[in-house]
Chains A and B, each alone.
Chain A
């Protein structure tokens, strides 16, 4: 079973539909015993970092996820906010702590070229840095992005980056992988064929 965390921050149903289309058993839940039994945990989400983290904390999910993902090594796929939560902290609406699993911070997107609007919304070219895991068999890819903040990874952990993209002169971390932790800034569930292929890659990689 693939379990998608239900925490009221966004388009969980779209992610559900995508896994369903791939023929997977999938559920949307925030019950810990369900999540404990899951083969993999998916944390999607759009919206504000603070609100999302508040909701996860209220349900005691932050500590729970640390146990499941870090200690018990359960595969994790973070989408958009689900990537941003991996950082040590975010500056969205004041400083807010993340899971801290990746040595990084979430900062406001500030394109240097003025014609680039924020949020970064739409389809953008994505440069593959490491052609394995999520990015297996991709040479170049276009994915759907929708975000106003992005991840800045500290030098010590730059090797986790598996793809990146350029928006108005700013380098954006598009996807990362660190052991059993996979995450993407863009939306595979809304990136048509490329997105479905990426989700399939995720499933193949965790079942290797």
Chain B
């Protein structure tokens, strides 16, 4: 039977792994390659890496990091943040990414999605949606990292993205992100039950139980989180174990040791 996926999300700001709360990125946690190494060996089913840096000069460095990370990552790797054209998607794929995640640019230019799907296939494109409750207390899609209201209704926008060929939806609740509230179950369920492509839930996980809720109550196909994975040893492994104990159909956690040791300079790996 097809397994539910558990996906750590690594948020990078100027090349450093950071904590994120309501889309404000604060504490530097550490080095991206170390994080990927741990997550890769702790039974993650996929890994997502997002660049949130506002410094355009750091983009080159981000590409270099992906290039190095992919040499050590043997689960599917999704890259996102600031992607606005198919040339850069090609570049990420050449650097070893398996999928890309696109968000704000799809609101400005939905044609990017159909072009990217035509060129790289649906399976390669994750459409990311950020949702916040507006002044009327209704769910609304926000773009530009939560800065601008779009007037779009999440379910309708998700259906539109599916129609344009997106392979998956990565769904974030900005209000829940970085809090301890767990997923916004109502939002996740509403979207997951109204599209026929996989939905990845994100935002708010502070206990392993929240993953179980995201799958059982939210009907998410895959569950993702960022902050919670960084502060405990074997975090992904333990989360997986908890899911197994709660009878969620996931890949049984096993430690995976990369046959190559980490080296002081990652770009000298090979």
Contacts and interface: CB of A to CB of B under 8 A. Distances in A.
Contact of A120 (B2, B98, B256): B2
A121 B98 contact: no
Contacts of B196: 117-118
B168 interface: yes
Contact of B98 (A11, A20, A119): A11
Given A47-B121, A142-B251, A123 B70 contact: no
Given A13-B93, A21-B259, A119-B167, 14 more contacts: A11-B98, A21-B71, A47-B120, A117-B197, A121-B198, A122-B45, A122-B198, A123-B45, A123-B251, A124-B1, A146-B76, A191-B75, A192-B74, A192-B75
A13 B270 CA distance: 13
Interface in B241-270: 251-252, 254, 256, 258-260, 270
B96 interface: yes
For the side of the interface on B, what is the size category?
35 or more
Query: Is the contact region of chain B dominated by helix, strand, or loop, or is it mixed?
Result: loop
Contacts of A48: 121
Contacts of B194: none
B259 to A, nearest CB: 7
A100 interface: no
5 contacts: A14-B96, A119-B123, A121-B168, A122-B5, A122-B198
Contact of A119 (B40, B122, B252, B270): B122
Nearest first, the 8 A-B pairs at minimum CB distance are: A47-B121, A13-B96, A123-B3, A123-B251, A192-B74, A190-B76, A193-B256, A124-B2
Interface of B: 1-5, 40, 45, 70-71, 74-77, 93-98, 120-124, 167-168, 196-198, 221-222, 251-252, 254, 256, 258-260, 270
A144 B76 contact: yes
B74 A196 contact: yes
Contacts of A125: 1
B71 A46 contact: no
Contacts, number: 101
For the side of the interface on A, what is the size category?
35 or more
Given A122-B2, A192-B256, A13 B95 contact: yes
A22 B270 CA distance: 12
Contacts of A22: 259
A148 B198 CA distance: 13
B198 A117 contact: yes
Nearest to A11: B98
A118 B221 CA distance: 12
